[in-house]
Amino acid sequence: MVTFVAPGKDIVVAKDLVKRFTDLVAVDGVSFAIKEGEVFGFLGPNGAGKTTTMRMIQCVSPLTSGILTVDDLDVVKDERRIKSILGVAPQEDNLDPDLTVMENLLVYSRYYDIPKAEAATRAERLLGFFQLEAKAATSIEKLSGGMKRRLLLARALLNEPRILILDEPTVGLDPQARHLIWDQLRQLRSRGSTIILTTHYMDEAERLCDRIVIMDNGRILAEGAPKDLVKSHMGDNVVECKLAPGVKECLAGTEGIKAIDVFGDTALVSTDSPQQVIEALLKGCGVESATVRRSTLEDVFLKLTGRTLRE
């Protein structure tokens, strides 16, 4: 049965959140509110502060300053109660290599005080949900990357968490495995789970997230539904053409242009009226060819965070 649950109250609220390490400010005064039942994504280049923010929500990294509440509980005071309603699937595999697939789930369930019989029932159901039932007695070393990731998700769901925290849930997976995980996450959302995730994949964010924030250098640069962000920052379309001298000036008088970005020898024109732009380019600016494509979240991301390599 699939029931749609409309996003409800604010379940995670951050106000002026700061995390300072000795030599850098990882999170620099961010505020956001995540609603119950939504899929909320943190996007940003490496070192943007996404994982640090998630770790503070998980109560495993103390705040430097600011306020952070999860289900109206303070992360500073109510660590244990908060952790009991969270399910966490980390970026790095931290499954127990000494144990089998099933044993991993059973041992982990003890940390949540789940009674033995109930834990066994849940573990079997979750292995089924993630198509791992045939692997129950397999040792972790023999699992593929996709299977490990599915098992991490299954483990995160053992305590039937109200909030699921996923750090790059599909990194390094083949398309089949990614689609399977997306399907499962959509099912979870439709049952009312709140899902908070980080990702570097823009298509993943566009497909899964109700709302996202784009972070860089510890700050939030933009927040909203992926579609709205694309619309407001880029317009509907991008016209790409080879950069000819004076293209920018030449387009100055054309209507409906949101922005002109130059990248290498290519000019990217964001616009809601691509037809006019193309006409202007071909007829007035001496450009030989131009292509139109739909604007994507990746365009927004690169526009906001720049094209400079981070590491």
Partner 1 sequence: MSLSWAFRLPQLSGRAWLVWWRDYRTFMKTYKTNFIPPLVEPILYLVAFGFGLGGFVSKIGGESYAEFIAPALLAISMMTAAFFECTFGSFVRMYFQKTFDAIIATPLNVDEVIMGELLWGATKSVMYTVIVLGVVGVFGLVTFPMALLVVPFSFLVGLLFAGLGMTFTAVSPNIDTLSYPTSLYITPMMLLSGTFFPLDVLPAPVQQASWLLLPLLHAVNISRGMTYGELGPGMLLDLGWILAATAVVVVLSINLMRRRLIV
Residue 21 binds partner 1, judged by CB under 8 A: yes
Residue 253: HSE in the Cβ half-sphere, 13 Å Cα cutoff: 5
Selected from 53, 58, 199, 305, the binder of partner 1 by CB under 8 A is 58
Selected from 74, 79, 124, 210, the binder of partner 1 by CB under 8 A is 79
Q: Which window, 106-114, 130-138, 174-182, 186-194, contacts partner 1 (CB under 8 A)?
A: 106-114
β-bridge mates for residue 224, sequence order: 212
CA distance 248 to 13: 43
- Cβ-based neighbour number of residue 210 at 10 Å: 16
- DSSP code, position 286: -
Closer residue to partner 1, CB minimum distance, 16 or 98: 98
Closer residue to partner 1, CB minimum distance, 80 or 283: 80
Give the nearest distance from C-beta 87 to partner 1 in angstroms: 9
Closer residue to partner 1, CB minimum distance, 155 or 233: 155
Please state whether 290 falls in left (phi above 0), alpha (psi between -120 and 50) or beta: beta
Give the nearest distance from C-beta 163 to partner 1 in angstroms: 12
* Total residues at interface with partner 1 (CB under 8 A): 28
Q: Are the beta carbons of 271 and 257 closer than 8 angstroms?
A: yes
- Write each residue from 126 to 165 as x if it is in contact with partner 1 (CB under 8 A), else as -, in one continuous string: ---------------------------------x------
Q: Which residue has the tokens 């369930």?
A: 109
- Write each residue from 24 to 43 as x if it is in contact with partner 1 (CB under 8 A), else as -, in one continuous string: --------------------
Q: Which of residues 82-101 bind partner 1 (CB under 8 A)?
A: 83-84, 86, 88, 90, 92-99
- Cβ-based neighbour number of residue 305 at 10 Å: 19
- DSSP code, position 284: I
Structure tokens at 90: 């980390």
Give the nearest distance from C-beta 113 to partner 1 in angstroms: 8
Q: Which window, 40-48, 75-83, 281-289, 291-299, contacts partner 1 (CB under 8 A)?
A: 75-83
Burial group, residue 29, by CB count within 10 angstroms (0-12, 13-18, 19+): middle
Residue 112 binds partner 1, judged by CB under 8 A: yes
Closer residue to partner 1, CB minimum distance, 74 or 240: 74
Selected from 9, 111, 144, 286, the binder of partner 1 by CB under 8 A is 111
Q: What DSSP letter does each residue of 135-171 carry, written as one string?
A: GTTSBGGGS-HHHHHHHHHHHHTTT--SEEEEESTTT
Closer residue to partner 1, CB minimum distance, 145 or 284: 145
Q: Rounded to an integer, what is the distance from CA 79 to the centroid of its chain? A: 24
CA distance 89 to 240: 39
Q: Are the beta carbons of 30 and 17 closer than 8 angstroms?
A: yes
Give the nearest distance from C-beta 184 to partner 1 in angstroms: 20
Q: Which residues bind partner 1 (CB under 8 A)?
A: 21, 58, 60-62, 79-80, 83-84, 86, 88, 90, 92-99, 103, 107-108, 110-113, 159
